[in-house]
Structure 1
């Protein structure tokens, strides 16, 4: 059972709502979904965030389920404390404040980079749509789907910061969803722009900048 001190670290459902709303609306302000498919993918991303913050501030289900295994292998850690939710820092023996641990700092870089990709990608895509042309400049000169990559980086960052069983299970499903959406958008772009799209697709990868250029040069 959780003691009184650990319960004060959790059960903060107001923080669950506030943090979920802030991150969801922040992403929404940049992504701006239009189609039903866009809304479905964004809803899945939102569910990921809610599941994450529910364990971060509401109830630590993952630690509760793994408490026996964790306590037997890492007896020096107080797994009922809030800091113990930073599982990677705890398991790798980071003794200082986990908020300044290597995995936490890496998560900040990934989350920040993800939001930047979503924001910058939307600006460039909106400009291209307004001009009724194919987006091929800026980020789109390096990859075809910077916004989807942004969502994947954000989720990856949160997993490094606060991994949970539920978000770990949701992660590959969401990545698969974004890959499918990317392929669907590619077919639509090819139907609209034809040869212009095919030439562009030969020079850029879906998510990893210069991947096709590198692989084609080496092989």
Structure 2
């Protein structure tokens, strides 16, 4: 790495990357209710924490520096690329951007944004018509957008794991689970038996592999 370039302290990149990803999520998710804003706000906090360590101050690297240096003395842990901890720990020799965990993270992040965007289109069309969303991704799972948020966060954890985002992740999973239950209670009040029939045959988060090709 070019020694003339700082490895961290790039606060402009922290702001820029946080703004870009938060804007993308906002444009795909389009929060409207208080519940939407809570889930979106928690996701945004995760992104800010992530990019702060990625470009600003590597708190995780500093916290683990003693153990990392003793176990992997040949690695320059203050180099920016060393923040790809999984590639470093498993001995990936090439650029971490082409490492297996980084490539898998790209698939997760792209898939997550797809779920959020496609889920929103279906949900918006159903709400506009006053109907229950049961087509598209909603034919397979009841909460594709929450699953999308979790996929994006999982992807970033594979790409650049930090102690703070690892601690936030289970909290966010619990929050999205609670929000989904609250949302379902309100939907049941609106659609009654139609909702109950839909919920009985459609999983909340994990699609059933059997019969997926036959669903609309």
TM-score, normalised to structure 2's length?
0.94
Equivalent residue of 2:134, what SS? coil
Indicate the residue corresponding to 2:38 in structure 1: 40
Asked if the contact 1:11–1:58 (Cα under 8 Å) also holds between the matched residues in 2, the reply is yes
Calculate the aligned-residue CA RMSD, in Å. 1.7
Go from structure 1 to structure 2 and tell me whether the alpha carbon gap of 1:178 and 1:211 turns closer, same or farther (over 3 Å shift).
Answer: farther
Moved over 2 A (4+): 4-7, 211-214
Indicate the residue corresponding to 1:147 in structure 2: 145
Distance 2:54 2:68 in 1: 17
Flag the structure with higher helix content: 1
Asked if the contact 1:204–1:211 (Cα under 8 Å) also holds between the matched residues in 2, the reply is no
Q: Is residue 177 of structure 1 aligned with residue 182 of structure 2?
A: no
Say which of 26, 29, 45 aligns to 2:27. 29
Equivalent residue of 1:44, what SS? helix
Gaps of 5+ in 1: 215-219
Gaps of 5+ in 2: none
Distance 1:6 1:150 in 2: 39
C-alpha distance after superposition, 1:35-72 (max 9, x if no partner): 22221221111010000000000011100110001111
Equivalent residue of 2:6, what SS? helix
Indicate the residue corresponding to 1:123 in structure 2: 121
Say which of 10, 13, 19 aligns to 2:11. 13
Q: How many residues align structurally?
A: 211
Indicate the residue corresponding to 2:202 in structure 1: 204
Indicate the residue corresponding to 2:193 in structure 1: 195
TM-score, normalised to structure 1's length?
0.93
Distance 1:6 1:68 in 2: 25
